[in-house]
Amino acid sequence: MATAADVSRIAAALPEAEGNGLEWSVTKKGKARGFVWIWKERVHPKKARVPNPDVLAIRVADLEEKEMLLASDDGSKFFTESHYNGFPAVLVRLDAIDVDELTELITDAWEAVAR
């Protein structure tokens, strides 16, 4: 099981990563590009989304990688929602992922936006 402290430690170790806690980005061409952030859940229809710190949105290289991750799991670890349709990010439940796998995902996410 991974924690918010693990996310912060992993992301902070990456070159030029900026952020804290569960929100991390890299500045490229003058613009901050997020690679890890807190998922904002639609709890009530027609109301603002609410941050859910138990779930992260993590960038992936492309939609193929996203589909591969989603297909590799029964939904207990990785999932998506309509808000992320067509966007290369996967939603990850922190309590369902181990630190080694999270490290790989965050590192790959950083590479996807920093290159």
What CATH number is attached to the domain comprising 48? 3.90.1150.30
**Is the pLDDT at 45 greater than 90, yes or no?**
no
The per-residue DSSP string of 80-113 comes to --GGGTTSSEEEEEGGGS-HHHHHHHHHHHHHHH
For the chain, how many structural domains are there in total? 1
| Nearest one of 84, 10, 78, 96 to 40, comparing CA atoms | 84
| 33 pLDDT tier (thresholds 50, 70, 90) | very high
- Predicted TM-score (pTM) of the model is 0.93
pLDDT computed for residue 65 by the predictor: 97
Q: Is the dihedral of CA 66, 114, 54, 84 positive or negative?
A: negative
Report the pLDDT averaged over residues 55-79: 96
Look at the chain and count its residues: 115
Helix runs in the chain, H state only: 4-12, 63-71, 99-114
Q: Is the dihedral of CA 74, 75, 79, 80 positive or negative?
A: positive
Domain hosting residue 88, numbered range: 4-114
Question: Within 13 A of 95's CA, how many CA atoms are on the CB side?
Answer: 4
Inter-residue contact 26 to 16 (CB < 8 Å): yes
